[in-house]
Amino acid sequence: MKKNFFAILTVCAVVLSTVSFGFAGLKDTKKDKNANQLLALLPPSDAVVTIDAKRFFGVALPQILSANQPLMTEISGKFDQIKATTGIDLKQFEQVAIGVNANKAAENQFNFEPLILARGQYNAAGLVAVAKIASNGKYREEKIGERTVYVFSVKEIIEQNKGKINNSLLTALLDKILAGTNGEMALTTYDNNTLALGSPARVREAFDSKARVGGEVLELVSRKPNAIVNFGARVPNGLSQFIDLENDELGKNLDAVRLLSGSMDVADGNTSVSFSAKTLNAEQAKGLKETLDGLQSLGKALLGSSKSPDKKVYGRMVENAKIAQVGNEITLDLLVPQADLNVIVGEKK
């Protein structure tokens, strides 16, 4: 039963890790409405992510991995395994909204306190019941008004299952989530087909407080409402505090960043990636752009003469990246043809 409950936690970590691997498709007004509804339910957050899970699993993933069917089959098998052990079918997820707060643990070290709202074609109360069974009774009940919240102690379960995860990124993410929640995760239903999962404090905040995501972050994450993944983040003390850097000049440029946003789209056989960074003033943005221009030139020089198919693709990606400055905002846009993605993700003979 411990293994089953750990699988539920892994699902949550996978959802969070999608922040750095998401895609988008065609416009769909109904889906946009659902995404906005979840977004509006999140309490104040330093960073917010919205995911169109239905299109991610149903459209983007099969297209991106079309040149590597063994890998696609393996991933599908993992989905089936999660469904068999936890009762959760990831393909029933339609929309996910994640609000994360960053809490400083030590110098340049942060833990992340999440709240996840997941809506889909399932009975939310039924999934909560599955989680309770899978935890083998290791939970306590709390009340928020008339609502029952189930709080699970997960530290022991994660420690016992660490060696069973080969993905170092996922392992690190689980550690960060565990630290940010003080070893506990709270789970309850938000409505009939929406789950709320996160640290006990964040779940309580979602129901006890009327405060919601600030307009600044809301605007960032809503820039491209049709994307499968959008993110927006407020970085009041600069970006370098989250990244271990030895280069003082690069750190100085990153410290000027106060707002971040981005999205990824898949359409017409291409994958487009967009990022935006806002600094305090235009002079700082100019310095950041000059640094990015320099890195682009260096990347082109290092990869331009390579004979390796993979490195040739990376070289084209670096060369085709469009970096622009408008006032105090820097944007980076990249369009990658499916043929190039096939080289990167394709099955290695």
Read off the pLDDT of residues 237-274 as tens digits, 9 standing for 90 and up: 766 666 655 556 666 777 888 999 999 888 888 888 89
Rounded to an integer, the average pLDDT of 307-311 is: 88
Rounded to an integer, the average pLDDT of 18-37 is: 43
Note the pLDDT of residue 3.
42
Is 104's pLDDT higher than 50?
yes
- Nearest of 177, 113, 155 to residue 2 by alpha carbon: 155
> DSSP string spanning 64-128?
HTTT-HHHHHHHHHHHHHHHHHHS--GGGEEEEEEEEEEEEEETTEEEEEEEEEEEESS-HHHHH
Is 72's pLDDT higher than 80?
yes
Rounded to an integer, the average pLDDT of 19-37 is: 43
For residue 273, what are the β-bridge partners?
264, 334
Please tell me whether the overall predicted TM-score, pTM, comes out greater than 0.95 for this model: no
Buried b (16+ CB within 10 A) or exposed e, 303-319: beeeeeeeebbbbbbbe
Calculate the CA 45 to chain-centre distance: 14
Q: Which residue has the higher pLDDT, 194 or 241?
A: 194
Note the pLDDT of residue 143.
93
Q: How far apart are CA 101 and CA 243, in angstroms?
A: 17
Is 28's pLDDT higher than 70?
no
| Per-residue tokens: 175 | 């550690």
Is 40's pLDDT higher than 70?
yes
Q: How confident is the model at residue 286 (pLDDT cuts 50, 70, 90)?
A: very high
Note the pLDDT of residue 228.
85
